């Protein structure tokens, strides 16, 4: 048996299921609702392909020496508003579509389930915009991308770093020429399970007595406290809309407090300066210190062009974005995720224990109640700000 079952480091990418020639591997939920490979021993012939494609064995990292780092904002205000950061991914896929590439990305399907899919037009690719803070289903994307490449087509694949590593390993294991493959990794903090999001959606729909037809993370529409990127925008089928924040929404609260990420996210092999994709996209937090005119809260993208292949479309991307140069050293030190995995919430295990006994919302709030010390410190924040202004 080549793949270890219920390995805490397993990222659930699904590449092993895709590559198994005997269909001996299926992805099954564990008690925390995360998907892991389950192997039918009667079908397994121990060919070793699952082991070769597993991201846990990945070692083909790209050194940061030749990385070119830029930050930028899409020249289209509409695209920028509809994107999570500065509209970098839209600029990238538009440039590659012009050259005949098939674009693979993650969309919400009709059941609000994040799934990988392929697109051949800009209109189809619009569904790939915006972050989906839920683990996506691979939807056979590794096999489909491999078939496209074998047929002589060009492919741009976007996903998390572990998914990009899995795709690279998948192609290598099957000896498929990747000259026409470009990978784009989205920097990821961690992923909750699809089941968690489903339960959260069901609870919200019962409360509102309406079905959610659209859900958008990293909402940029201003509300009472201005723009809050840790918010979401929900549309119900009765026409009602709602902006949620970490203060009034259990899913956002649990996500940003790292309460229910997949176990492997706390042990991520790809939270490092070495890259696995041709291009990496992230938020450009803190860039306003170098360029005061840029406002990260309104969306500014950090783009790392890691390979010569990744840099090929730089000129075309530049036509679609206002770009600013930054040092590679600043870029790779601008986020903790370029050096270490996300630290899990100490109440993680307690959340899953409570979730078995009560509903999702109650489990989240019981595990994220602020301590007395934190409550006092929060109450003192306005006073501290006022004192700072007086000192100035």
Mean pLDDT by 10 residues, the chain (392 residues): 64 96 95 94 94 94 95 94 94 97 97 97 96 95 98 98 98 97 96 96 96 93 73 95 93 96 96 97 95 92 97 95 96 93 95 96 92 52 56 54
- Contacts of 24-31 with C-beta under 8 Å, sequence gap 24+, read 25/50, 29/193, 29/195, 30/6, 31/352
> Could you give the angle at the alpha carbon of 191 between the alpha carbons of 186 and 193, nearest 5°?
135
Q: What pLDDT sits at residue 1?
A: 41
pLDDT given for residue 166 in this prediction: 97
User: Which of 246, 250, 302, 311 has the alpha carbon at shortest distance from 278?
Assistant: 311
State pLDDT tens for residues 307-361.
999 999 999 999 999 999 999 999 999 989 999 999 999 999 999 999 999 999 9
**What size, in residues, is the chain?**
392
User: Would you say 118 and 144 are in contact if contact means Cβ atoms under 8 Å apart?
Assistant: yes
Distance CA 266, CA 59 (A): 19
187 and 273 Cβ atoms separated by less than 8 Å: no
Question: If residue 340 lies in a helix (H) or strand (E), which one and from where to where?
Answer: none
| Residue 29, pLDDT score | 94
pTM reported for the whole predicted model: 0.91
- CA 371 to CA 281: how far, in whole Å? 35
Residue 221 has a pLDDT of: 77
pLDDT of residue 226: 66
Report the candidate in 20, 52, 261, 31 with the shortest Cα–Cα distance to residue 160: 261
Q: How far apart are CA 103 and CA 118, in angstroms?
A: 6
Q: Are 4 and 28 within 8 A, CB to CB?
A: no
Which strand (E) or helix (H) includes residue 305? Answer: strand 301-305
Q: Which residue intervals of the chain are DSSP H helices?
A: 15-19, 49-53, 77-81, 88-97, 122-125, 141-150, 161-173, 194-208, 250-256, 308-311, 314-320, 328-333, 348-355, 360-367, 372-391
Residue 375, pLDDT score: 47
Taking phi first (over 0 means left), then psi (-120 to 50 degrees means alpha), and beta for anything else, what does residue 198 get?
alpha
The secondary structure of residue 64, as a DSSP letter, is G
How far is 272 from 111, CA to CA, in rounded Å? 34
At residue 249, φ and ψ (nearest 5 deg) are -130, 125
pLDDT digits (tens, 9 = 90+) for 93-130: 999 999 999 999 999 999 999 999 999 999 999 999 99
Cβ atoms of 12 and 34 closer than 8 Å: yes
Which tokens in the block code for residue 272?
Answer: 């490092």
| CA end-to-end span of the chain | 66
Spatial distance between the Cα atoms of 197 and 156, rounded to a whole number of angstroms = 28
Query: What is the chain's Cα-based Rg?
Result: 21
Residue pair 341/267 in contact (Cβ under 8 Å)? The answer is: yes
Beta-strand pair 301-305/321-325:
unpaired
Question: Looking at the DSSP assignment, which residues form a beta bridge with residue 321?
Answer: 74
Alpha-carbon distance values, 18 to 120, 143, 154, 256, 361 (Å): 22, 6, 20, 31, 35
């Amino acid at each position: 048996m080549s793949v270890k079952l219920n390995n805490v480091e397993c990222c659930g990418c699904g590449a092993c299921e895709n590559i198994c020639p005997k269909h001996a591997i299926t992805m099954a939920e564990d008690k925390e609702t995360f998907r892991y490979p389950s192997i039918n021993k009667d079908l397994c012939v121990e060919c070793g392909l699952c082991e070769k494609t597993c991201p846990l064995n990945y070692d083909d990292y790209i050194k940061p020496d030749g990385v070119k780092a830029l930050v930028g904002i899409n020249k289209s205000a509409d695209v920028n508003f509809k994107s999570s950061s500065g509209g970098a991914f839209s600029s990238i896929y538009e440039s590659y579509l012009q050259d005949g590439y098939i674009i693979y990305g993650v969309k919400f399907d009709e059941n609000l389930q994040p799934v990988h899919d392929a697109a051949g037009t800009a209109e189809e690719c619009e569904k790939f915009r915006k972050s989906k803070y839920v683990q996506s289903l691979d939807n056979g994307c590794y096999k489909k991308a491999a078939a496209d490449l074998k047929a002589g087509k060009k492919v741009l694949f976007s996903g998390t770093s572990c998914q990009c590593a899995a795709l690279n390993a998948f192609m290598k294991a099957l000896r498929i020429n990747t000259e026409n493959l470009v990978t784009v990794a989205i920097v990821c903090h961690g992923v909750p399970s699809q089941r968690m999001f489903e339960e959260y959606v069901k609870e919200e729909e019962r409360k509102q007595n309406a079905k959610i037809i659209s859900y958008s993370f990293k909402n940029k529409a201003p509300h009472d406290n201005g723009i809050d990127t840790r918010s979401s925008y929900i549309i119900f089928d009765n026409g009602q809309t709602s902006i949620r924040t970490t203060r009034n929404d259990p899913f956002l609260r649990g996500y940003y407090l790292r309460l229910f990420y997949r176990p492997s996210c706390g042990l991520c092999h790809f939270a490092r300066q070495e890259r696995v994709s041709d291009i990496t996209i992230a938020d450009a937090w803190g860039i306003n210190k170098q360029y005061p005119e840029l406002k990260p809260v309104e969306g500014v993208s950090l783009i790392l062009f890691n390979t010569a292949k990744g840099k090929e479309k730089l000129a075309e991307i530049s036509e679609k974005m206002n770009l600013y140069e930054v040092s590679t050293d600043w870029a790779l030190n601008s986020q903790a995720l370029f050096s270490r995995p996300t630290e899990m919430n100490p109440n993680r295990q307690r959340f899953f224990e409570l979730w078995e006994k009560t509903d999702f919302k109650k489990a989240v709030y019981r595990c994220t109640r602020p301590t007395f010390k934190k409550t006092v410190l929060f109450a003192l924040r306005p006073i501290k700000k006022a004192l700072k202004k007086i000192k100035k």
